[in-house]
């Protein structure tokens, strides 16, 4: 590859990123999760009688801009016909706005799609919960979790801290709502009765399909057994459980009034507080709504409500990428970014303390106003960005040491690394009726987090393979490798992401490129390269749990694959050269692949398009290629 072409593209990407930096030093590229939060926001504003016509009109336009020809909405481009749950959410939100009617042609097409795909009965559990709370669906006779379960201590064989923090923070408001069988809707709420396919589904006796299974009965039995140990059900325990549930939510409000800076948990928390007697005009409610409005951003000229913001994640990755491209830590752009990151390091204890009692705060969270819910990935990403500054400045040594100590303290007993809480992977939670329970309700070791942590420890703390922490992580990664040589990545799409993270981590930990696992992974990467020199993976990989090609290449997937190959190759290869050529040739072209999700939250439920990734990862891949093979 011509050195000049590589350097020109690096320069272009650096310039573009510099131009997009905001005044506080961060980057606020959108965290784009489709239309779900847009629809929920319309419904919330209408139910709370909050007049905001400009926002509602803007969200209606955004939702309609994503509708497909057959009337449906999709989670991702190659989803075959459309997504039933997302289509119902969009249809409901549009009707609730009052700006669209069932008779409108595009609404009729949406309804036809919904009915032809099974109606409301076939939606996912989260959508059913939203429809139930807002009065469109009956609560099942037995909601799964007795309210008193919140009183069971962390030392008990079953307790709320067995749930992952992102499962816990969403389910606790639902726990209270389900206990009270609470429902609320505005006076002019639309009716979705015509989306039921049978009369039975409309009755209170109807039991959701999720709760008819043997797995659910086993789960419910465990909960009942635990709660019965609380000496029956005396009234004072019930009152205590009610107050504890409220306190759990209120004690975890972030500075903007949202619950852990997450949209969905805050959405359900607002209704949970209303169920306990809070007024729609209560300051806590109004501040939470203002916090959710604060998550609005612009995507392609449309207003989008994000599930959360991604300021810390974007800023840490971009600062690191700029420095890998050659910018010194004294560069003004890097200095401003790193000053922002230092201001976001955590000093508060959070739920993570339950599973990691000997650790002290020092990590970083994902979003701008996250103060108590750090994660391993954001912590190592921030430390990478800050390494050049913190390791050479005595005043910042404490910040560095706290960050590294927190990272190491999060290692699971199995040797891998989780996202939010250590040793919180209880297999019995897979029995719950929630889709994707394995990753929604548990926080297991994953290849992407373990690989990225290994890469950080190896390249920035000099903890190589012989060191205990790294050795355990390497051993876990080697056991986790798929038969075809790839690794599954939990937070990205999917096998390309996991393989990139694992390979770069193993190399940083001191593994030889000749190791059989690394050779097998390299062979797999080369095998799945597209003819155009790029790589592309479908979100169906996440659903099917094996690699599914996208049928087209994307800049982000190609950058991950190229960076992985560069890290584990002693000299450049034809596959690397073709990949680099693709990254330069396609960098400024516009196509649907640029908007394809590269991140995932939950399989078949929520996928993420990071608008920053098309700049970050090509810049990293090109810089690493230049630095290793062009003697720069």
Residue 377 appears among annotated catalytic residues: yes
CA distance 43 to 612: 29
Count Cβ atoms within 10 A of the Cβ of residue 590 and give its class: 0-12 exposed, 13-18 middle, 19 or more buried.
exposed
Place of tokens 């889709």: 435
C-beta of residue 267 within 8 angstroms of C-beta of residue 174: no
Place of tokens 């690096």: 10
Which is the catalytic residue, given 38, 375, 377, 425? 377
C-beta of residue 102 within 8 angstroms of C-beta of residue 108: yes
Distance from first CA to last CA of the chain, Å, rounded? Answer: 14
Count Cβ atoms within 10 A of the Cβ of residue 365 and give its class: 0-12 exposed, 13-18 middle, 19 or more buried.
buried
C-beta of residue 376 within 8 angstroms of C-beta of residue 417: yes
Measured on CA atoms in the order 51, 55, 60, 63, is the torsion positive or negative?
negative
DSSP string, 124-180: -HHHHHHHHHTTSSPPPSS-SS-GGGGGS-TTSSS-GGGS-HHHHHHHHHHHHHHHH
CA distance 502 to 496: 10
CA distance 227 to 209: 25
CA distance 267 to 261: 11
DSSP string, 64-108: HHT--TTS---SSTT-SS--HHHHHHHHHHHHHHTS--TTSHHHH
Q: Alpha carbon 557 to chain centroid distance?
A: 18
Q: How far is CA 308 from CA 35, 116, 195, 293, 601, in A?
A: 13, 33, 31, 11, 12
Place of tokens 């062979």: 523
CA distance 362 to 377: 13
Kindly state the tokens that stand for 154: 């962390």
CA distance 379 to 272: 32
Closest CA to 560 of 528, 592, 589, 590: 528
> Which residues form the catalytic set?
377
């Amino acid at each position: 590859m011509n050195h000049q072409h590589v350097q020109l593209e690096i320069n272009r990407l650096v310039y573009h990123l510099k131009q997009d930096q905001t005044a506080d030093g961060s980057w606020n590229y959108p965290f784009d999760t489709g239309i779900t939060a847009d629809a929920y926001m319309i419904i919330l504003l209408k139910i709370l009688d909050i007049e905001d016509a400009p926002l509602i009109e803007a969200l209606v336009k955004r939702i309609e801009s994503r509708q497909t020809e057959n009337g449906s909405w999709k989670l991702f481009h190659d989803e075959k016909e459309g997504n039933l749950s997302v289509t119902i959410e969009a249809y409901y939100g549009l009707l609730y706005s009052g700006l669209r009617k069932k008779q409108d042609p595009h609404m009729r097409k949406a309804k036809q799609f919904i009915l032809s795909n099974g109606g409301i009965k076939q939606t996912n559990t989260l959508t059913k919960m939203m429809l139930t709370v807002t009065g469109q669906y009956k609560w099942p006779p037995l909601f799964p979790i007795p309210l008193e379960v919140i009183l069971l201590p962390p030392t008990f064989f079953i307790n709320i801290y067995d749930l992952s923090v992102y499962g816990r923070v969403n389910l606790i408001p639902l726990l209270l709502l389900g206990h009270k069988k609470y429902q609320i809707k505005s006076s002019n709420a639309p009716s979705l009765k015509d989306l039921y396919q049978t009369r039975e589904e409309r009755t209170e006796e109807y039991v959701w399909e999720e709760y008819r299974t043997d797995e659910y009965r086993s789960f419910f039995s465990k909960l009942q057994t635990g709660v019965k140990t609380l000496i029956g059900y005396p009234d004072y325990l019930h009152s205590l459980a009610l107050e504890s549930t409220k306190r759990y939510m209120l004690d975890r409000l972030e500075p903007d009034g949202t619950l852990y800076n997450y949209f969905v948990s805050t959405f359900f928390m607002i209704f949970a507080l209303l169920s306990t007697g809070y007024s729609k005009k209560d300051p806590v409610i109004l501040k939470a709504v203002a916090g959710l409005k604060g998550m609005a951003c612009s995507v392609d000229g449309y207003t989008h409500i994000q599930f959360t913001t991604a300021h810390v994640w974007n800023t840490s990755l971009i600062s690191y990428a700029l420095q890998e491209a050659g910018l010194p830590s004294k560069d003004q752009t890097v200095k401003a970014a790193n000053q922002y990151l230092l201001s976001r390091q955590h000093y508060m204890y959070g739920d993570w303390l339950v599973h990691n009692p000997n650790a002290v705060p020092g990590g970083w969270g994902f979003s701008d106003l996250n103060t108590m819910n750090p994660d391993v990935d954001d912590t190592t990403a921030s430390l990478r960005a800050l390494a050049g500054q913190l390791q050479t400045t005595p005043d910042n040594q404490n910040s560095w040491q706290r960050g590294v100590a927190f990272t190491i303290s999060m290692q699971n007993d199995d040797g891998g690394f989780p996202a939010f809480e250590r040793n919180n992977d209880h297999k019995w939670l897979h029995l719950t009726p929630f889709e994707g329970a394995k990753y929604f309700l548990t926080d297991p070791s994953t290849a992407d987090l373990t690989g990225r942590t290994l890469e950080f420890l190896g390249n920035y703390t000099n903890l190589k393979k012989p060191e205990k922490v790294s050795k355990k992580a390497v051993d876990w990664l080697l056991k986790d490798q798929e038969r075809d040589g790839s690794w599954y990545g939990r937070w990205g799409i999917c096998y390309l992401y996991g393989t990139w993270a694992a390979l770069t981590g193993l190399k940083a930990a001191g593994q030889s490129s000749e190791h059989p696992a690394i050779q097998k992974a390299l062979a797999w990467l080369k095998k799945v390269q597209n003819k155009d020199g790029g790589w592309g993976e479908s979100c169906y990989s996440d659903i099917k749990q094996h690699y599914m090609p996208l049928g087209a290449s994307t800049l982000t997937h190609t950058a991950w694959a190229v960076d992985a190959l560069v890290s584990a190759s002693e000299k450049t290869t034809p596959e690397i050269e073709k990949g680099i050529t693709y990254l330069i040739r396609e960098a400024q072209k516009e196509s649907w692949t640029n908007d394809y999700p590269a991140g995932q939250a939950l399989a078949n439920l929520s996928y993420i398009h990071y608008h920053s990734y098309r700049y970050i990862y090509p810049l990293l891949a090109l810089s690493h290629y230049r630095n290793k093979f062009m003697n720069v």
